[in-house]
A and B are shown apart, each in its own frame.
Chain A
Amino acid sequence: MMALIVRRVVVATLIAGLGALPIVTSLSGDAFALTLFTRIVILALAATSLNLILGYGGMVSFGHAAYLGIGGYAVGILAHEGIDSGFVQWPVAIIASALAALVIGLLCLRTRGVYFIMITLAFSQMIYYVFAGLDRYGGDDGLTIYHRSEFAGLIDLGAKGEFYYLCLALLLLAIWLVSHLMNSRFGMVVRGARSNERRMRAIGFPTFRYRLACFVIAGTMCGLAGALLANHTDFVSPAMMHWTRSGDLIVMVVFGGMGSLFGPLFGAIALLALEEALSRVTEYWQIILGPLLLLIVLYARGGIDGLLERIGGTLRSRPRRD
């Protein structure tokens, strides 16, 4: 019980803080913090989508950043061709990611364990090379976006505060959707398949189709995050979907606490804040981050969410609804 209360208090405080951020930064004049947290929120959305398949579903996909890239390039390419309307760009981003996830899922989900990790990595690398080879759209150097997505005056994505609130709203909406999804019948199948796939098949579940559906939902959500990211940076490049980005997302999910609703958000904040802090210490901050990752893996695997559980005083066990 205590664990639940501690977690709820922390989450509520966090959401309140995130909600108040633009107001605080406009008063203090610190524009950088708002930019940083917009990025954090967008990546938290991407991490939340990965949590669906990794945290809840047990599918270790090392190619999830590919959907960030696909969503981002949908916006970038359409903008480049003169189509600035968000009402066209964003649905294209979502549909393109969904289709890509469907094809990749159909191929990859026939495999297990290490094979799955390697294959998702390989396919995302393939997509990286495809986009790097598109000279028309900037190739390796990337593509600048001169106008952010237009929504017919409903919202101005160029205004930092408005854009931030949109991202935050989408993130919270996504988390709410995930909470319903993972407690529904569908979610039970996905989680059961993670727990014991052999048993799931023995009791009568054709698990493949459910895991595929979960994979597609995750890819789609990540594609939306990609569209947001493109708008945030006014720039798309193959680097968005480099496999190290996929690694970052996995780090966020794992260290936030796998299979927990707000874990990905904790993880995104932790990783980006850590990167910020370390990069002020030294230009070569990854020399510290790398071994730190290894140490955390070896000695602190429950992640932040697990830490909160322990602070609450009870052992982590029941998959509770947050």
Chain B
Amino acid sequence: MPGSFAENAELVAEGLACRRGERLVFAGLECRLPAGGALILRGSNGIGKSSLLRLFATLLAPAAGRLLWGGVPVLRDAARYRALIHYVGHLDATKPALSPREMLGFWAALRGGAAPEIEPALAAFALGAVADRPCRWLSAGQRRRLALARLVAAPAPIWLLDEPNAALDGDGAARLQTLIAQHRAAGGRVAIATHQPIALGDAAVIVLEDFAASADAALAAWQ
């Protein structure tokens, strides 16, 4: 069915531009994320990787261009598009007073929909031993694992991960990599902003460059 919100559709960015305050972070960005696809965003600090992921998550509005899902602009039915995405930002959104089990239940409840798979989610990141302790006793790595466990607790076809490897140990990173492979094999898609090496097979890589500098250079050349 063309032009629908089907789960196996393709996410396409057309000429996306992002402005933060007065600064144009990037412009004219084109990319596509088909079913089973992966996108790795690279580039130096402050270049706009997180902003691009937030654009994908509809948390930021693009200054120009648009985002299409199955040929339909996602903002036409933002609620349905948002139900398709998991956004794991660089903040963990954990409450110090609640336990990992309660946090996963709360996050899943926020999404609505089917009953969450909390036990598999805890198991996927080996959090069983700390599942009922308050989050204030978790280490940074454990909180990261907990945030990533959201991906398992409630299924969604698009994963947007901002520096998912930060604070993760080797075991955690390996678990994440396995999870992403399974997700893609099942037709899911993932966009990751990271500085660390991550093996995702045939992932497309977008290297964001300093847009302002290149624009200035182009302008200088033109003059």
Chains A and B come from one and the same complex: no
